[in-house]
Amino acid sequence: MQPDKRGRVHRGCPLCRRDNSDQQTLDPDIEWGLTACASCGLVYLQIVPDGQFHEPSRAWQQSWQDEKDRRHAREPVLHRLWAVVTERPQWTKRDKLTRFIRRYVGRGRVLDIGCGTGHRAARWPRTVVPYGTDVDAGAIARADKLFQALGGYAVCAPAIEGVARFSDGFFDGVVMRAYLEHETSPLEVLLETRPKLKADGTLIVKVPNYGSVNRRIRGSRWCGYRFPDHVNYFTPRTLTRLLDLGGYSVVQFALYNRLPISDNMWLVAKPKHGPATG
């Protein structure tokens, strides 16, 4: 993909690779070409900034804060009301990722792709050793310090390059929490990651749920939209298709992890035996 004069690149469908330049975009007001693939149905951005995941200005933590500030300025009353409803002591909040790691991984080495500062791993059971990869150098420095204290380490690199630094069969678990919606090449990352997992290893995924009722009600103000940071918008069907092509078998994707009224989906998968089809 060659960038244009504005530093942007055009991409085909990251799931089935159809070009889709002949398709009408879903919203002409969105300059990034929000498109539903005519072949597989995946909703994605056809146009993305070149190297967006290599620049500090595009760090997920910063873009998340920028988006939070923008939403507050646009809907201050609703935003504050929601904050009041959801604010509660940290000890009362359920940490679903930690529960999934405890239940489906148990012990061993766990790679957190897009780990940021590594703060999530501080709550993981001490039976697992955390590793991580991210493109934000400042965040990775903090994550590496934390992970080394727990027996692992973190590397500053794009996902495919970072994953490639580890040997095959090295990990008992891989976490992709709030990551795949950012990745311009999600299938390639899954294909690169699969051999790094042990044969009975576990992949844990969390992504926004484009199929949610809330997205239909809220329209352009849906919380899952973040342009151009979120470049892929998955439904339960397109997410499971992606995992299948990437060489994984889904072992946990119960209805309560993909409710139509929920803005997020959680999925647990394991490597298939035999070659991937992606």
Decide if 85 is inside a domain: no
Residue 90 pLDDT > 70, yes or no? no
Decide if 64 is inside a domain: no
- pTM equals 0.87
Amino acid at 137: A
User: What is d(CA 257, CA 274) in angstroms, rounded to the nearest whole number?
Assistant: 28
Within this chain, do residues 181 and 260 fall inside the same structural domain, yes or no?
yes
User: What is d(CA 194, CA 276) in angstroms, rounded to the nearest whole number?
Assistant: 9
Decide if 70 is inside a domain: no
Decide if 59 is inside a domain: no
Which of 50-59, 64-73, 152-161 is predicted least confidently?
Answer: 50-59
Residue 88 pLDDT > 60, yes or no? no
Within this chain, do residues 136 and 194 fall inside the same structural domain, yes or no?
yes
Binning pLDDT at 50, 70 and 90, where does residue 273 land?
confident
Asked whether 159 and 136 are in contact (CB, 8 A), the reply is no
Within this chain, do residues 102 and 38 fall inside the same structural domain, yes or no?
no
Q: What pLDDT does residue 54 have? A: 44
Within this chain, do residues 21 and 99 fall inside the same structural domain, yes or no?
no
Cα-flanking dihedrals φ and ψ of residue 39, to 5°?
Answer: -95, -50
Decide if 197 is inside a domain: yes
Q: How many domains does the chain have?
A: 2
Decide if 278 is inside a domain: no
Binning pLDDT at 50, 70 and 90, where does residue 5 land?
low
Amino acid at 101: I
Decide if 68 is inside a domain: no
Which of 8-12, 15-19, 67-71 is predicted least confidently?
Answer: 67-71
Within this chain, do residues 158 and 231 fall inside the same structural domain, yes or no?
yes
Q: Is 118 left (phi over 0), alpha (psi -120 to 50) or beta?
A: left
Decide if 102 is inside a domain: yes
Within this chain, do residues 129 and 1 fall inside the same structural domain, yes or no?
no
pLDDT in tens, 132-144: 999 999 999 999 9
Asked whether 57 and 30 are in contact (CB, 8 A), the reply is no
Binning pLDDT at 50, 70 and 90, where does residue 87 land?
low
Half-sphere exposure at residue 237, Cβ-oriented, CA atoms within 13 angstroms: 6
CATH of the domain at 178: 3.40.50.150
Q: Which domain holds residue 184?
A: 93-271
pLDDT in tens, 199-251: 999 999 999 999 999 999 999 899 999 999 999 999 999 999 999 999 999 99
DSSP state, 25? P
Helix extents (H) in the chain? 60-74, 76-86, 96-100, 137-149, 159-164, 186-193, 213-218, 236-245
Within this chain, do residues 108 and 218 fall inside the same structural domain, yes or no?
yes
Binning pLDDT at 50, 70 and 90, where does residue 56 land?
very low
